[in-house]
Amino acid sequence: MLKLENVKTFKTMKEDNSKPPSPIVSNGILLDNTILTIVGQTKIGKTFLIYDLALAIASGGSFLNAEVPEAKSVLILSAEGGYYPNRERVKVLADDVSDESLERIGYIPFASLNLGDMEHLYALIDMINAGGYEVLIIDPLIRFHTADENSSSAMSDIYSNLRLMMEETGVSVCLVHHTGKNKAAGARGSSVIASEYDSCITLTGESKHAVAEFDMRHVLSPEPLVLSLNSKTLRFDWHSKNHEDQVEQLIEKEPMPRADLARELMALGMSSSAAYRGISKALQSKRYVVSDGKITRIEKALN
């Protein structure tokens, strides 16, 4: 039987000065007890991105251009790649991560779990509660239900079950989903999928130079980022999509000659003329100078 409780009056709310929960990932990317959806085409690197996210949450590190204030435990339901390929990925990704942080991440290779089946749903709820998991990652959503993704009513039922699970466990959820044939239209399937989230990261382009665009329902959305998959670490390096910001980020990372800096910028997808214009603007700003043949921040050059 449905039970309604916990009604608050406006007077109670006015007098309530308790602090809200800290974000799990700052910039509105993942708040307490919310749904983050990561959307992108096949082979763009969504699984690499969620592993990066899981490691950041478990270690209290950073994710893209956002901070993780407090380490939390993560459960990953994975139906991508199989156990052994993912094991090899993890060995590379986790190379510099502490054992304590790695112990906070649980991983379940593909299981016959159906979020539309109440027996399955409560088995998952019991597992989350027993393990004390605070974040659940489902990769990809389509492999963990049998509903028609083009049906609004069917997908509404799936999301209702997800919200029920969140209410029963207090867990926050990250869903991985594919774009349809029309990539510009975003997540494939019913409009429910494209609307039933609290925050969304949409990946476009290709894994070598993907663009991450953000849509946050509760805070101002961050500016898009250009992502490049580092083949050595299997993590995404990020740069601002704004050309001037890209120039400054590279200079801050490592002083380098003008030609080398231009090549780095062009590797991020910037045209040659735009790269050299951006470098010139950085020098005109008086924040950077050429010292010993390298462009560097003026304070460093003076030291």
Query: What tens digit of pLDDT does each residue of 51-103 get?
Result: 999 999 999 989 998 999 999 999 999 998 888 999 999 999 999 899 999 99
CA–chain centroid gap for 283, Å, is 33
Q: What share of the chain has pLDDT > 90, as a percent?
A: 52
Which two structure tokens, joined as six digits, stand for 172? Answer: 């926050």
Q: Are 174 and 52 in contact (CB under 8 A)?
A: no
Query: What tens digit of pLDDT does each residue of 165-185 get?
Result: 999 999 999 999 988 655 555
pLDDT for 50 equals: 96
Which two structure tokens, joined as six digits, stand for 302? Answer: 């003076």
Distance CA 134, CA 75 (A): 8
CATH number of this structure's domain 21-240:
3.40.50.300
3-state secondary structure of 149: coil
Query: What tens digit of pLDDT does each residue of 99-142 get?
Result: 999 999 999 987 789 999 999 999 999 999 999 999 999 999 99
Distances (CA, A) of 47 to 12, 68, 208: 43, 19, 14
Distance CA 41, CA 181 (A): 9
243-302 under CATH 1.10.10, yes or no: yes
Partners of 67 in the beta sheet?
A: 62
For residue 124, give the H/E element and its range: helix 118-131
pLDDT for 23 equals: 92
pLDDT for 236 equals: 87
pLDDT for 282 equals: 83
3-state secondary structure of 106: strand
Mean pLDDT computed over 179-208: 77
Signed CA dihedral, 9, 14, 16, 22: sign only: positive
3-state secondary structure of 225: strand
Partners of 237 in the beta sheet?
A: 228
**This prediction's pTM:** 0.78
Domain map of the chain by residue range?
21-240, 243-302
